A and B are shown apart, each in its own frame.
Chain A
């Protein structure tokens, strides 16, 4: 069965009185962009809901797209029929049959908006429910906790029948809660942090630090691939700032405080990120820190590192278990890319025993000893390479060699 329509329900933001209009407008833009290539789809916006008239376009493919749009809490495939008892019964059976998994229990919920329809709600409950029960001998009615609610809405223009409720990404439409920069290392955590931040409505620009020639071109390609994946969820291009960290990193590595090098690096990275944020009007810095996971993510380290910026440091994974992070990474399809074994600058020069509780005074002393640190940071910001990455941006493997070879 290919449904006639899709009903899209919005997420939590619908309760926000004044901004609601802005949220809904943004939501509508994202939905329209997602179904843009399906020429026959018509998008209708009513208060608090969006309807898609499919006009024969494939439900399955469109549903896959809707699932990934932030701000949609759920959606339902809908069959439309004429307001005639026999047609409604037939459609009800068809809708039940098309459920992904046959339910054990159900109930019928009738909403009769068109009062001219000859049967009232009670009667219809029995007339349709009984018919469905005869069609599915295994099925039982459970009014309190049904597995499936078969909904029938009788409207003046026709009757809508649906039951399947497909959960979607939830959250807020992309970009409705301000803008931040994302520290993107290329590991498992930072793309997940970016995804969760975007789901909460944050617009992101990604910042990646590389230490060529200590890190490879492949590490850069990997980060581009991750941003491309994230841009699938934003629906629009994401900017990637590629910062050359080689000079700073080698200077820090020679400062003679091996156990503090990670702390020192992270502080310089934050300073650079802050300056990029200021240039791009971003009001926060998102990182993949998860409390206690590595030496730089202990509370002691976070205290010393975090002091370098005045911007809010957003850590969506702070209290999350590693397995949970991996589960999300797999779900959003960044995991396989993240685990590619290319050295990034966070794994470079890692001391044998990094400090888990660095002393702020000592760290500041080290930084003062590197006299040109501020200049190097300014230089790193000035020489940052910026790329715009969208889902359509071809991966390297799509442009390799000559087109006529393939």
Chain B
């Protein structure tokens, strides 16, 4: 099995599974209970929070909130900040390439009466800082921009944007970091990030656990009601075993980020060379590396070929890949992200995403390249000519 869909979800680390099983068996008490077992469960949560606070550099444990995943973190960040600061203004800025949990959330707020500006991206899928600067008004309360795009791996200029927004005290800066954790360096402080979302199952952690960094002093209106857990900002009995296991997964991912990036950039280089040798395939995104493209994601199109066909054929040869992002791969529509990068409808509807994991090396890449060449060769006669 060659699993090249790590951007969708990752196999949990064996230590993560063991932690989860052990904590689950031993610490089932409710952290809000007054008895000792309850306290112990509560202490585990706080230790997990401290581990997260340290793993992300100079952040305080109390600045981290546990959620059910990236989607909830993004919803809470955006809706929570929009509602908390709506008295200051009603203008929100985001981009055309956000994950649906950001994009659709902003559109939902538009129906509530907020004004949304959606910034375009260039051919490489990167938002221009100048365009953002021009879009800012006195009414802008929130800017939400992803760190690494989930379909193409394009890295946004989070640091420059953060420096720009730092000068404006009335604008909250949210970054969806679900795809960047453990892949590219993150510096929440120097990038002036106020809110940062992450998801455990993208870093070999358990499903059902997300993180939201909330800079000290930033206020959010809670989405849920019904308890004082997570300081009242996210009520509901905490997923203790999942959270402890997630803390481990995040720590491991962050500690090995530099080494992983170096290893995966080499794999990416190899795959880009392979794609360049197959004339039917076009790369979506940049051929450059550092600063523009994440190490673990490659997106290409076979214009004129339904991407599902390629995915199914690769699957026959034990390779798992994705069309668009996993969340929207069941519809036939062209990718909103690729369209925003200026791709034709045909090209935007035929994107294939390969995303690497820690188990991949040169051998796996060779197999993938061989199978790609073979699949394209077999499909060539079936190309749909417009």
Identify the A interface with B (CB < 8 A): 216-218, 336, 395-402, 404-406
B272 interface contact, C-beta 8 A? no
Say whether chain B's binding surface is mostly helix, strand, loop, or mixed.
helix
Quick check: A397 and B43 within 8 Å, CB to CB?
yes
B36 interface contact, C-beta 8 A? yes
Quick check: B39 and A218 within 8 Å, CB to CB?
yes
Query: In the complex where A405-B22, A405-B248 touch, is A398 in contact with B39 (Cβ < 8 A)?
Result: no
When the two chains form the complex, which single residue of A216, A397, A401, A406 contacts B27, counting CB atoms closer than 8 Å?
Answer: A401
A–B complex contacts, Cβ < 8 Å, 23 sampled: A216-B34, A217-B39, A397-B46, A398-B47, A398-B50, A399-B47, A400-B40, A400-B43, A400-B47, A401-B23, A401-B27, A401-B40, A401-B47, A401-B244, A402-B22, A405-B22, A405-B23, A405-B44, A405-B245, A406-B47, A406-B48, A406-B244, A406-B248
Query: In the complex where A397-B46, A398-B47, A400-B47 touch, is A405 in contact with B36 (Cβ < 8 A)?
Result: no
B247 interface contact, C-beta 8 A? yes
Contacts beyond the supplied A336-B62, A398-B47, A402-B22: 17 A-B pairs with Cβ under 8 Å = A216-B34, A217-B39, A395-B50, A396-B46, A397-B46, A397-B61, A399-B47, A400-B40, A400-B43, A400-B46, A400-B47, A401-B27, A401-B44, A401-B47, A404-B15, A405-B44, A406-B251
B49 interface contact, C-beta 8 A? yes
Hey, which chain B residues are within 8 Å of A218, CB to CB? 39
Q: How far is the CA of A400 from the CA of B49 in the complex (A)?
A: 12
B229 interface contact, C-beta 8 A? no
CB distance from B381 to the nearest CB of A (A): 56
CB distance from B219 to the nearest CB of A (A): 16
Quick check: B39 and A401 within 8 Å, CB to CB?
no
B32-90 CB contacts (< 8 Å) to partner A: 34, 36, 39-40, 43-44, 46-51, 61-62
Quick check: B46 and A217 within 8 Å, CB to CB?
no
Among A396, A399, A406: residue with most chain B CB under 10 A: A406
Hey, which chain B residues are within 8 Å of A401, CB to CB? 23, 27, 40, 43-44, 47, 244
Hey, which chain B residues are within 8 Å of A216, CB to CB? 34
Closest residue of chain A to B34 (Cβ to Cβ) is A216
Hey, which chain B residues are within 8 Å of A396, CB to CB? 43, 46
Closest residue of chain B to A218 (Cβ to Cβ) is B39
Closest residue of chain A to B46 (Cβ to Cβ) is A397
Say whether chain A's binding surface is mostly helix, strand, loop, or mixed.
helix
When the two chains form the complex, which single residue of B44, B61, B245, B248 contacts A400, counting CB atoms closer than 8 Å?
Answer: B44
Hey, which chain B residues are within 8 Å of A217, CB to CB? 36, 39
Hey, which chain A residues are within 8 Å of B61, CB to CB? 397
Among A218, A396, A405, A406: residue with most chain B CB under 10 A: A405
B160-197 CB contacts (< 8 Å) to partner A: none
CB distance from A393 to the nearest CB of B (A): 14
Quick check: B49 and A397 within 8 Å, CB to CB?
yes
Hey, which chain A residues are within 8 Å of B36, CB to CB? 217
Closest residue of chain A to B61 (Cβ to Cβ) is A397
The 8 closest A-B pairs by CB, nearest first: A397-B46, A400-B43, A400-B47, A405-B19, A397-B47, A401-B44, A400-B44, A406-B51
Q: How far is the CA of A398 from the CA of B43 in the complex (A)?
A: 8
Closest residue of chain B to A401 (Cβ to Cβ) is B44
CB distance from A179 to the nearest CB of B (A): 33
Closest residue of chain A to B241 (Cβ to Cβ) is A405
Quick check: B244 and A405 within 8 Å, CB to CB?
yes
Hey, which chain B residues are within 8 Å of A397, CB to CB? 43, 46-47, 49-50, 61
Hey, which chain B residues are within 8 Å of A399, CB to CB? 47
Among B36, B61, B244: residue with most chain A CB under 10 A: B244
Hey, which chain A residues are within 8 Å of B248, CB to CB? 405-406
Hey, which chain B residues are within 8 Å of A405, CB to CB? 19, 22-23, 44, 244-245, 248
Q: How far is the CA of A217 from the CA of B42 in the complex (A)?
A: 13
Q: How far is the CA of A398 from the CA of B44 in the complex (A)?
A: 9
Closest residue of chain A to B248 (Cβ to Cβ) is A406
Contact with A along B5-29 (1 / 0, CB 8 A): 0000000000100010011000100
CB distance from B27 to the nearest CB of A (A): 7
CB distance from B246 to the nearest CB of A (A): 11
Hey, which chain A residues are within 8 Å of B49, CB to CB? 397
Q: How far is the CA of A397 from the CA of B51 in the complex (A)?
A: 10
CB distance from B42 to the nearest CB of A (A): 8
Q: How far is the CA of A21 from the CA of B36 in the complex (A)?
A: 51
CB distance from B38 to the nearest CB of A (A): 10
Q: How far is the CA of A336 from the CA of B22 in the complex (A)?
A: 33
CB distance from A63 to the nearest CB of B (A): 16
Closest residue of chain A to B19 (Cβ to Cβ) is A405
Q: How far is the CA of A396 from the CA of B41 in the complex (A)?
A: 12
CB distance from A405 to the nearest CB of B (A): 4
CB distance from A304 to the nearest CB of B (A): 36
CB distance from B126 to the nearest CB of A (A): 33
Closest residue of chain A to B22 (Cβ to Cβ) is A405
Q: How far is the CA of A399 from the CA of B48 in the complex (A)?
A: 11
Q: How far is the CA of A218 from the CA of B46 in the complex (A)?
A: 13
Among B40, B44, B61: residue with most chain A CB under 10 A: B44
Q: How far is the CA of A40 from the CA of B248 in the complex (A)?
A: 34
CB distance from A295 to the nearest CB of B (A): 29
CB distance from B207 to the nearest CB of A (A): 18
Hey, which chain A residues are within 8 Å of B62, CB to CB? 336
CB distance from A217 to the nearest CB of B (A): 6
CB distance from B181 to the nearest CB of A (A): 17
Q: How far is the CA of A336 from the CA of B36 in the complex (A)?
A: 23
Hey, which chain A residues are within 8 Å of B47, CB to CB? 397-401, 406
Q: How far is the CA of A402 from the CA of B19 in the complex (A)?
A: 9
Q: How far is the CA of A336 from the CA of B216 in the complex (A)?
A: 12
Hey, which chain A residues are within 8 Å of B44, CB to CB? 400-401, 405
Closest residue of chain A to B228 (Cβ to Cβ) is A341
Hey, which chain B residues are within 8 Å of A406, CB to CB? 19, 47-48, 51, 244, 247-248, 251
CB distance from A345 to the nearest CB of B (A): 17
Closest residue of chain A to B40 (Cβ to Cβ) is A400
CB distance from A215 to the nearest CB of B (A): 12
Closest residue of chain A to B36 (Cβ to Cβ) is A217
Hey, which chain A residues are within 8 Å of B46, CB to CB? 396-397, 400
Hey, which chain B residues are within 8 Å of A398, CB to CB? 47, 50
Q: How far is the CA of A283 from the CA of B139 in the complex (A)?
A: 61
Q: How far is the CA of A405 from the CA of B240 in the complex (A)?
A: 12
Q: How far is the CA of A16 from the CA of B122 in the complex (A)?
A: 70
Q: How far is the CA of A396 from the CA of B44 in the complex (A)?
A: 9
Hey, which chain A residues are within 8 Å of B51, CB to CB? 406
Q: How far is the CA of A402 from the CA of B245 in the complex (A)?
A: 12
Q: How far is the CA of A405 from the CA of B41 in the complex (A)?
A: 13
CB distance from B128 to the nearest CB of A (A): 31
Hey, which chain A residues are within 8 Å of B19, CB to CB? 404-406
